[in-house]
Structure 1
Amino acid sequence: MSLLPQEIIRRKRDGGALDSEHIHDFIEGMTSGRVTEGQAASFAMAIFFRGLSVKERVALTRAMMQSGEVLAWDLPGPVLDKHSTGGVGDTISLALAPAVAACGGYVPMISGRGLGHTGGTLDKLDSIPGYVSQPDIETFRRVTREIGCAIIGQTADLAPADKRLYSIRDVTATVESVDLITASILSKKLAAGLQGLVMDVKCGSGAFMDNPADARALAESLVLVANGAGLPTSALLTDMNESLASAAGNAVEIAYIADYLTGRRREPRFHDINVALCAEMLVLGKIVDNLAEARARVEQAISSGKAAEIFARMVVALGGPADLLERPDKYLSKAPVIRAIHAEKAGIVQRVATRDVGIAVVALGGGRTRPQDPVDHAVGLTNLAGIGDAVDHDHPLAIVHAQTEEAAQAAERAVHAAYTIGDSAPHPGHLILERIGVPT
């Protein structure tokens, strides 16, 4: 039996369980406008404090998925995707999608803009001249079918209830709810018509969840709910105690990917995470039988240049330049002030307050403090020193890319404060903390 929105809120507020039909009715009301902003905010707050069971999470995810168009694919290979909970220098999507496509998967990836201290894949793609990051659905379908992957932003047609509820959560201090995070992420992925999903759940000083127990709880929720909703999903808990790539920004991360895909520079930390996530996707998609074989297939796709070729074709298909990978400097905007940031004393990097590094990039103009703010694609940090690296007069903490000397000086102060320098090499941490597989 249908309930009034306020009665659904009351039931959850008082700790009761919501039936699937109650949840679907409330979400339908949000989409149609029958549910008010105040009611939606109260619903989010009730969930924040009272929580949802796995069954309720599945129902909420499905209801949000069904609030808009749900894509269906007829392709000769599995439709796969990856989602990261966000971090600094996390530009894996741009390397992963073409690598998986090179191995026979299809990757229709719907990405977001920067959130807080974390960079957004969509903002990075917008630094490529001509690249249409939010095409119509038919273009999205065509590029995925013809190239093997397409990386775009969320359209108004897919999971519109999520877009409305997220904007409400953002201003009502309910963003951190594991229940709501789970439904938000997975509703968009289910709407994309996926057949397999790998979650990269970040943990550490640059992650939204720096505590391993919290990160594990989110990963377990995502895996349980996704599989409960019919989407085979696994998760990796990965380290975010330092920038994943040595570049953080927008154009500077596109340049980094150009170097990575062409083989001009492949940093082990970034490469190992990329290969691990790709391998999970190939196994989920039943392209190969085991992770060892999957890793070998991905390594070959990258080293042979096939992944680079697919990325270049995707860029062209979505309006960008054909020779971006070979000549990134020709197309990517450059900041007028580029200089090294040196440590105040020589030594070895012990720890990095990675969140503060991300905030320094935002302060340079590489991110937003308000949703309507423009992003400066040229600014950022490159050559970021990692934990265990020696720093001295010849080996800086980072290179800053700024619009003014004043902005560069502010970034220098922030980077100095974010780095702890000592005399001895710290004990190396694990890059992949844990794997959470598909429930059996």
Structure 2
Amino acid sequence: MSHTPSRSSFPEMIMKKRDGGQLSADEIQDFIDGVTSENMQKSQIGAMLMAIWQKGMVPEETMELTKRMMMSGEVFTWPKEWVMVDKHSTGGVGDKISLILAPALAACGCKVPMISGRGLGHTGGTLDKLESIPGFKINLTSDKIKQTLQDVGCCIVGQTDALVPADRTLYALRDITSTVDSVPLITASIISKKAAETLNALVLDVKCGKAALCKDQKDAQILAKSLVTVGNSLGIKTGAVLTRMDAPIGRCVGHTLEVYESLECLKGRGPDDLRNLVITLGGCLLHMSGQSATLADGKKAISDVLMNKKALQKFQAMLEAQGVNAEISQALCSEKAEYFKYLQPAEYQTEFMAQDEGTVLSLDGMVLADVLHKLGAGRSKAGEKINHRVGAELLVGLGQPIKKGQAWIRIHHDDAELSSQQQHELEGALNIGSAASYQDSPRVIEFLLPN
């Protein structure tokens, strides 16, 4: 498949894009071949990423880049009767939806070959969260993925070496070259992996707000339209849901704590906003893939498998299929689980008290993510180790009354003390005011679903 770039040299291609030119299909093929064959130097790839970030791409370029990335490695094939679905989120704070949604969809009869990523920028990665469960293996062979889908119905894995190798290189370099927030690069990265999964339906959770890549709704709409257009043009029924990302999702942030909260949701408990997002996104997929007649029917089906514990059973089976000892998986999935007997707790817990009394008007998820990142929950460069134990529990919710001196957050950390800067930042993340000035903002803003 690979061919030696003959039409243009790498510096010429970089210059053309830097100066705002449109890359041809052949040039994009040369770029992707250069990335996968390692004929292109890392500095040249970084320069091309920056040129794309600065000048953007027209839809044809984005489409071509996505297709070439998809074809840079293996493309899955499945039995015809399988209904293949997946979801992708553009990343948020406390976004643990995948851990709950994949088994819920499997419990509804779908197959979910969820290929996930590690933390990128300030957002936590689904794989990092699952690796806080002792024994969980994210690297499965293609055969093992197929076997797990046959037996369980879902798996959550890292990219195999053979799957979209071009993206693995670009994904790591985007993080360290500050080119994460580019619409063409985000689109190509997400859709190339999902297209290689050979899906019937895909839903995209496009976040907007303070703690999202897209800070405002207009930017989120542009990204959602790009993703939906490219997905549908590659033959996947693709829809998007725009969701608000200012305050964290649920009450827990941080890898181990988010696993604990996901398990609570799978047991029919847990925070309403988390549960509602799972039900909404799952309902979209069931409807788009023809598994339910209406969106409302799809939402009800997802709600039912959370309440009757069928999704929990699938989660337990997935854990065991992916290397977790049966004793641990059973203990975690039991009704009265002693979570922190099996999930590692942090050494210290520090609670912060409210400085005023009134109503919780807002909680700044971005501030929280930044502090936790510095405490070891995130990466500054690709391949860095992270601390799964670091995290935060919100002890109050939006719109709730709060008293002066009441604990509003509990930080789980392994450094003996938080710095005065970190304490100051955290105190600024909580906004208290009068009940009259509280505005309830629903998480779901807009649907962009195919007809």
Fold shared, TM-score > 0.5 on shorter chain: yes
1:34 aligns with 2:45: no
SS at 1:23 equivalent: helix
Structure 1 letter corresponding to 2:267: T
- Distance in 2, matches of 1:410 and 1:173, equals 24
What is the CA distance between 1:12 and its match in structure 2?
3.2
Aligned residue pairs: how many? 438
8 Å Cα contact 1:347/1:423 also seen in 2: yes
In the other structure, the counterpart of 2:231 is 226
In the other structure, the counterpart of 2:143 is 138
Q: Can you list the C-alpha shifts for 1:106-127, whole angstroms capped at 9, x where unaligned?
A: 1111111112221111111111
Of 345, 365, 371, the residue aligned with 1:334 is 345
In the other structure, the counterpart of 1:358 is 369
1:422 aligns with 2:433: yes
In the other structure, the counterpart of 2:446 is 434
SS at 1:397 equivalent: strand
Distance 1:413 1:145, change over 3 A: farther
In the other structure, the counterpart of 1:204 is 209
Residues 111-190 of structure 1 aligned to structure 2 (within 5 Å): 111-190=116-195
Q: Which runs of 4+ in 1 moved over 6 A?
A: none
In the other structure, the counterpart of 1:325 is 333
8 Å Cα contact 2:87/2:202 also seen in 1: yes
SS at 1:67 equivalent: coil
- Distance in 2, matches of 1:37 and 1:381, equals 36
Of 89, 104, 107, the residue aligned with 1:102 is 107
Q: Does 144-153 or 376-385 show the bigger shift?
A: 376-385
1:413 aligns with 2:424: yes
- Distance in 1, matches of 2:72 and 2:333, equals 38
Distance 1:361 1:42, change over 3 A: closer
- Distance in 2, matches of 1:228 and 1:250, equals 35
1:297 aligns with 2:301: yes
TM-score by length of 1: 0.94
SS at 2:418 equivalent: helix
What is the CA distance between 1:329 and its match in structure 2?
2.6
8 Å Cα contact 2:8/2:27 also seen in 1: no
1:312 aligns with 2:316: yes
What is the CA distance between 1:410 and its match in structure 2?
6.2
Structure 1 letter corresponding to 2:410: I
8 Å Cα contact 2:360/2:432 also seen in 1: yes
Q: Does 149-158 or 376-385 show the bigger shift?
A: 376-385
What is the CA distance between 1:194 and its match in structure 2?
1.7
Structure 2 letter corresponding to 1:360: V
Distance 1:44 1:376, change over 3 A: closer
In the other structure, the counterpart of 2:220 is 215
Distance 1:393 1:15, change over 3 A: closer
What is the CA distance between 1:281 and its match in structure 2?
0.8
Structure 1 letter corresponding to 2:279: V
1:3 aligns with 2:10: no
Percent identity, aligned pairs only, is: 38
Distance 1:296 1:340, change over 3 A: same
Residues 237-252 of structure 1 aligned to structure 2 (within 5 Å): 237-252=242-257
What is the CA distance between 1:150 and its match in structure 2?
0.3
Structure 1: 5+ residue stretches without partners? none
What is the CA distance between 1:80 and its match in structure 2?
0.7
8 Å Cα contact 1:75/1:145 also seen in 2: no
- Distance in 1, matches of 2:392 and 2:148, equals 32
8 Å Cα contact 1:402/1:408 also seen in 2: no
8 Å Cα contact 1:132/1:318 also seen in 2: yes
- Distance in 1, matches of 2:379 and 2:239, equals 31
- Distance in 2, matches of 1:141 and 1:313, equals 15
Structure 2 letter corresponding to 1:322: S
In the other structure, the counterpart of 1:266 is 270
8 Å Cα contact 2:121/2:175 also seen in 1: no
- Distance in 2, matches of 1:257 and 1:395, equals 26
Structure 2 letter corresponding to 1:294: G
What is the CA distance between 1:17 and its match in structure 2?
2.9
Structure 1 letter corresponding to 2:203: V
What is the CA distance between 1:409 and its match in structure 2?
6.9
8 Å Cα contact 1:79/1:105 also seen in 2: yes
- Distance in 2, matches of 1:237 and 1:400, equals 29
Structure 2 letter corresponding to 1:309: Q
- Distance in 2, matches of 1:363 and 1:49, equals 28
8 Å Cα contact 1:352/1:418 also seen in 2: yes
- Distance in 2, matches of 1:339 and 1:5, equals 56
What is the CA distance between 1:50 and its match in structure 2?
2.8
What is the CA distance between 1:408 and its match in structure 2?
8.2
Distance 1:332 1:161, change over 3 A: same
What is the CA distance between 1:352 and its match in structure 2?
2.2
Structure 2: 5+ residue stretches without partners? none
- Distance in 1, matches of 2:274 and 2:23, equals 42
- Distance in 2, matches of 1:336 and 1:38, equals 40
8 Å Cα contact 1:337/1:408 also seen in 2: no
8 Å Cα contact 1:364/1:411 also seen in 2: no
In the other structure, the counterpart of 2:74 is 69
Structure 1 letter corresponding to 2:311: A
Structure 1 letter corresponding to 2:148: V
- Distance in 1, matches of 2:432 and 2:39, equals 56
Structure 2 letter corresponding to 1:398: I
Of 286, 289, 304, the residue aligned with 2:290 is 286
